[in-house]
Amino acid sequence: MANAMKIAIVDDEKDMRQSISQWLALSGYDTETFPSAEDALKALGPDYPGIVVTDIRMPGMDGMQFLKKLMGTDSTLPVIMITGHGDVPMAVEAMRVGAYDFLEKPFNPDRMTELAKKATHARRLTLDNRALRRELSDGGQLMKKLIGSSPVMERLKEDILDLGQADGHVLIDGETGTGKTLVAHALHAVGARAGKKFVLVSCAAYEQEQLSKRLFGPMNPEDSRLPAVEEARGGTLVLEDIEALSDGLQARLLTWLNEEGTPPETRLVAISNLQDEGKTSEDALRSDLFYRLASLRITVPPLRQRGEDILTLFTRFSDQFADDYGCDAPQVSAQEAAQLLQAPWPGNVRQLFNVAERAVLQSRRGSGTIVSLLMSDHQDMQPVMTTEGKPLKEYVEAFERMLIDNTMRRHKGSIAAVMDELCLPRRTLNEKMAKYALQRSDYL
């Protein structure tokens, strides 16, 4: 199975190890066996991509000692204990220490499979969440998520790196779906507060009274969280939809900012979505709050201004969905590439993401075109007219770059395979890759 979780089976009895391994392998799991806890510990690190099934009674290090070692390395690792007759009290103690569950011999193999399914699902969620937390604290990884090499995106990345090193509060604005929250994460991750708390509050998600409590307290007795200004202390507090704050809460926020001093202990990043309504942050915020925030300001560019980034993003998204759905990504024609470049994209990157998914789904069914999806999203959109807007040469170059990029990605950087598929001599391919700043090393 692709991306199957592993199951480490630990038992000093060879027949039992092999029996459990064979049964779980038939259920699609990638199993590995160990004759002792000592041997298993050498292979089981804190991010082991699976679960452990172990006997309790073993010579040398027994199952309880083994469990305690594993919990000390990774307390979230699911460990299923196999007990003999009369070992149930020991199994109960194992559950207290941190075991996921236990099976009493002789056990039903179907029960083993059911437990393994639940435990591996829990493990996958844990590892996915752990990877996401690491990614959101890794400035390099976050900057890579800001895909594109258009001038406006290069400028955005430079702004993030510059302002990330600054201490002042920041205002981020731009249209819906442009990636403002991702920019806020990146600002935090590339700055001095990268290892500190990152707390995000959507102001539009609360009524004013609840919002006041969420930001400044007092919290409800049953709520285990601190008020956001306390929770984020020393790190970054991000307020989405800052314009949803009432005048009273804006005044209170300004007072808190003044108390933070210079440089502030906690950095505020405010996100505004007012551009969708033809308004500005200055229209909605108190002037003293606006100027306090807007001294450091980032405006995230809309997708329609990002040129060939549109094709790069569409390719990445469609490849991703093709992997998810187990099918080939749709082939984009020159006409469709031009249509993608010319579309107005009012929903920006989020809309492009949705179009890519629908394109993959309809391609899997063998029906529909990318143009039909765009036309359904934009009823007033006309077919591409190469006599208007961009010159034909620009559309052709954008399509050519996308075609080479897609083919290089598909063939994992094999120049010979790309030359063969595109019917290009090596010199011509090299010249075009240099022209479009495509590096073979990026595809290996």
pLDDT in tens, 264-317: 999 999 999 875 556 677 778 889 999 999 889 999 999 999 988 999 999 989
The whole-number pLDDT of residue 194 equals: 85
Q: Is there a contact between 181 and 240 (Cβ–Cβ < 8 Å)?
A: yes
Q: Is the Cα torsion angle 332, 154, 392, 431 positive or negative in sign?
A: negative
Distance CA 90, CA 81 (A): 10
Distance CA 444, CA 440 (A): 7
Longest CA pairwise span in the chain (Å): 85
Q: Is there a contact between 56 and 81 (Cβ–Cβ < 8 Å)?
A: yes
Architecture of domain 139-301: 3-Layer(aba) Sandwich (3.40)
Report the SS3 class of residue 82.
strand
Give CA 55 to chain center in angstroms.
Answer: 37
Give residue 79's identity as a one-letter amino acid code.
V
Pairing label, strands 79-83, 297-299: unpaired
Element (H, E) at 348: helix 348-365
CA distances to 6, 76, 378 from 43, rounded to whole Å, are 12, 17, 55
In 50-148, which residue ranges form alpha helices assigned H by DSSP?
Answer: 63-73, 88-97, 109-136, 139-145
Task: Report the percent of the chain where pLDDT is more than 70.
Answer: 89
Copy the structure tokens of residue 128: 């996915």
Distance CA 360, CA 383 (A): 21
Q: Where are the domains of the chain?
A: 6-135, 139-301, 305-378, 392-442
The whole-number pLDDT of residue 9 equals: 95
The whole-number pLDDT of residue 277 equals: 57
The whole-number pLDDT of residue 391 equals: 55
CA distances to 31, 109, 119, 260, 355 from 20, rounded to whole Å, are 9, 8, 16, 60, 45
Identical fold between 139-301 and 305-378: no
Residue with tokens 């598909």: 410
Q: What is the DSSP string of 302-323?
A: PGGGSTTHHHHHHHHHHHHHHH
Q: With a cut of 70, list the residues of the chain below it in pLDDT.
A: 1-4, 132-142, 222-224, 275-279, 375-396
**Fold of domain 305-378:** Helicase, Ruva Protein; domain 3 (1.10.8)
The whole-number pLDDT of residue 217 equals: 85
The whole-number pLDDT of residue 139 equals: 62
Question: What CATH number was assigned to the domain covering residues 6-135?
Answer: 3.40.50.2300
